[in-house]
Amino acid sequence: MPNPEAIAKYVELAEKSSGVIYIEGDTIHIIVPTSKLVDVADIVFNKYNCSFRVCAGIDERPLNGHFSLVHLFTDDKAGYYVAIKTYLSGDNPVAPSIVSAVPAADWCEMEARDLVGIEFTGRETFRLVLPPWWPSNLHPLRKDVPYNYRPEPRIESEKISYSSEYGVIPLGPYHPTLHEPEYFELYVEGERIVDVKYRGFHVHRGIEKLAESRMNYQQINFLAERICGICGFVHSTCYALAVEKAAKLDVPERAQFIRSIVLEIERIHSHLLWLGVAFHLLGYDAGFMHVWRARERVMWLAELLTGSRKTYGINLIGGVRRDISEDKKQKALEVLRELNRDFKSLIEVALDVPQVKRRLTGTGVLPREYAIKLSVEGPTARASGVNKDARRDLPYAAYKYASFKVPVYSEGDNLARALVRIDETFESISIIEQLLDKLPGGPILLSDFEIPEGKVGVQVVEAPRGGDIHYVVTGKGAPYRWRVRAPTYANIPALRIMLRDQPLADAPITIASIDPCFSCTDRVIVIRDGRVERINLLR
Amino acid sequence: MSIKPVKLIVIAGKKGRVTVKYPFQEPIITPEFRGEVEIDPAKCIGCGACVRACPPNALELLESEKEIILRYFVGRCIFCWRCVDVCPVSAIKGTKNFELATDKFTDLYTLVVHTRATCELCGTPAETVRMRRYITEKVPISEEYITTCPTCRKKQFAEKIAMRKVGISELKK
């Protein structure tokens, strides 16, 4: 739905900053001179209240001899994507940092520095993604670096800890219950946490480079699905939608409905999984067992509809590969009705368990102002009073045909985050029922289409943990640039606020409360140069 | 202290046992489940369509002078069945088999060996013999030129044009 008022605002901004503006579908592209980048980002983030999603550095030297940097925002109120692009010199790419205006851009700028070799002025940088032994002048996402290039490792000792003033408690290399690689250093005074350092990106898989150099458009759907083991379908949908947007494909309605239905099934299973793990963390193992028992039926349903319990593998550019027949529809409705009853009775009991209630209430508080400043995503944002949900604000797939509530709580504590997820589970059940009811007829896959070169597609898909964003620049047979950001990437920096002044014993549940997915976050690269510096997000 | 948490016992009692005694009982899988794929060596023509579609490179074409081998390595397979979708002769069939653990790693490989045809002019190894037969069957006109490789075909074509333009006597000079 075009919104002339919102567009006029951006046109004026582009004119004032002597930039170029063009609008394609729901994406507003603004190309600004490098000197005006900070001012424009400041206005878009702080005055227009857009949420910052991610930035991407692109090596465009084979195309036009320049590097470029794109900051991606979404105007959630008006329902527009805002991509602010600036071109940098091809020999010595230097960009001004927008961190002073947009604190949420901290990580992605350092990632662009590591992977594409863009230097940032006006901020401190350190290695975030690349391993310590990686040569500092080698930037893997540059087009002249072959995807299978392996530099000789330099042996170098790495200093992890540096503080001597406080006691240091390492939490990692695996989370006690999430079984994912992560490393937190908690600085404690007695039993109180005074500061937190996160060191991640241990499992960087270089998938962006792999996709750009070795795979074709349709294969990447399956690679994207493997970014995350829990919300993989979100990534493959997000990638497919981004490419479809870039190529302006008209995907069959039925395919979009099936995508939405499967996305919601994924959300239900993910939230149930999280609740189970949270109960386990709080010492309520009976609840864990029963929530997972209920979840097992959802896994069975996912297999019935797609052919696989997880990594469904049904997304292709242009549609989906598996149809939902009348018989499957009835079975799905039956499972959902049963789940609704079962989950309601379980949650009633579980939330009344004293240790669950007491340990969730008032712990790990994230105040609203920080949630906005750091552009956190999903239930973490909604539990802190930030009313944003891409399904409603930037409708994609078939969500515009379903009516649903977006639960928002203002407390910002662990209980609020749990309640958001519980409410969302019921909403998801209702969304699937509505969509199954309205499922239109017709084909499920486009058979003949072409993907033109040099087009841009940006897509946000609301994963169970928050908004995923995929940025695709199309190329020949495969994307020229594919930038992925998982929601946990935006949420981890908020942990520093949540954990501060908390008792040590609440750290595991608070870390788990953002439903972190470390491996998705690590899909990109972040590293430190031998020395370790504190992640200073809120200067 | 509320006694509500005790209600969980009622829920548990109602639900009963939900697990099965696998492997003594049938595993709980749906009719839609995707497992290992099976290649029918009698049908396969060695065209390589599945190799291009396969996202994780579980299917590969190994080429030598005399043979083209289609190799399926189940250890890499992600069970997406894209190969099943794209096979032009329906030689690949999906199965429900997921019990793939083995103590012999060679069990994880399936090989389909194809004899390679050659260009009858220059002798360069070309596509598989079966692939040639398949193409001729689908496009009968190709019978005229299928036995030569594209390079020789180009050369032949250029010679024919030249002959028409300048005549054979000029060409010989």
> What angle (nearest 5°) sits at the alpha carbon of residue B88, between those of residues B85 and B92?
55
- The Cα of B8 is separated from the nearest Cα of chain A by a number of Å equal to 7
Residue A116 lies in a domain: yes
Q: Select from A58, A90, A121 the last residue of a domain.
A: A121
CB of B1 within 8 Å of a chain A CB? The answer is: yes
Contact between chains at B8 and A286 (C-beta distance less than 8 A): yes
Q: For B7, name the nearest residue in chain A, comparing CA atoms only.
A: A349
Residue A185 lies in a domain: no
Assigned token pair, A268: 């239900």
Regarding whether A115 and A247 lie in a shared domain, the answer is no
Alpha helices in A65-216 (DSSP H): 106-115, 207-214
Residue B13 lies in a domain: no
Residue A138 lies in a domain: no
Query: Which amino acid would we find at residue A217?
Result: Y
Domain that holds residue B45: 31-172
CA distance A418 to A172: 23
Our count of domains for chain B comes to: 1
Which of B8, B32, B85 lies at the smallest CB-CB distance from A304?
Answer: B32
Residue A247 lies in a domain: yes
Collapse the DSSP code of B19 into the 3-class scheme (helix H, G, I; strand E, B; otherwise coil) and give the result.
coil
Residue where the block lists tokens 């054979």:
B168
Residues of B in contact with A290 (CB under 8 A): 8, 11-12
CB of B168 within 8 Å of a chain A CB? The answer is: no
> In sequence order, which residues have a C-beta less than 8 Å from that of residue A228 and are 6 or more positions away?
A234, A235, A463, A486, A517, A519, A520
Residues of B in contact with A220 (CB under 8 A): 55
Residue A208 lies in a domain: no
CA B145 to chain centre: 26
Residue A142 lies in a domain: no
Q: For an interface test with A, which of B3, B4, B8, B54 has the most A Cβ atoms less than 10 Å from its Cβ?
A: B8
- The Cα of A52 is separated from the nearest Cα of chain B by a number of Å equal to 32
Residue B92 lies in a domain: yes
Q: What pLDDT was estimated at residue A174? A: 77
Q: Select from A472, A488, A504 the last residue of a domain.
A: A488
Assigned token pair, A409: 């709580």
Contact between chains at A303 and B29 (C-beta distance less than 8 A): yes
Kindly tell me the burial class for residue B93, based on how many C-beta atoms sit within 10 Å of its own C-beta (0-12, 13-18, 19 or more): middle
Regarding whether A297 and A438 lie in a shared domain, the answer is yes
Contact between chains at A313 and B80 (C-beta distance less than 8 A): yes
Contact between chains at A290 and B8 (C-beta distance less than 8 A): yes
Half-sphere exposure of A528 (CA within 13 A, CB side): 17
Residue A447 lies in a domain: yes
CATH of the domain at B50: 3.30.70.20
Residue B7 lies in a domain: no
Instruction: Report the candidate in A307, A339, A337, A299 with the shortest Cα–Cα distance to residue A323.
Output: A307
Our count of domains for chain A comes to: 2
CA distance B43 to A244: 35
Contact between chains at A287 and B8 (C-beta distance less than 8 A): yes
Q: What pLDDT was estimated at residue A195? A: 85
Mean pLDDT by 10 residues, chain B (173 residues): 82 90 90 94 94 94 94 95 95 94 93 93 91 93 89 89 76 57
DSSP-assigned beta bridge partners for residue A81: A27, A74
Q: What pLDDT was estimated at residue A327? A: 95
Residue A337 lies in a domain: yes
Residues of chain A with pLDDT under 70: 1, 155-165, 176-177, 522-539
Q: How many CB atoms lie within 10 A of CB A22?
A: 10
For chain B, report the end-to-end CA distance as a whole number of angstroms.
110
CB of B33 within 8 Å of a chain A CB? The answer is: yes
Regarding whether A114 and A245 lie in a shared domain, the answer is no
Q: Count of A–B CB contacts within 8 Å?
A: 71
CATH of the domain at A44: 3.30.460.80
Domain that holds residue A77: 4-121
In sequence order, what E strands does A179-275 have?
183-189, 192-199
Q: Using one digit for the tens of pLDDT, what is the confidence trace for A420-443?
A: 999 999 999 999 999 999 999 999
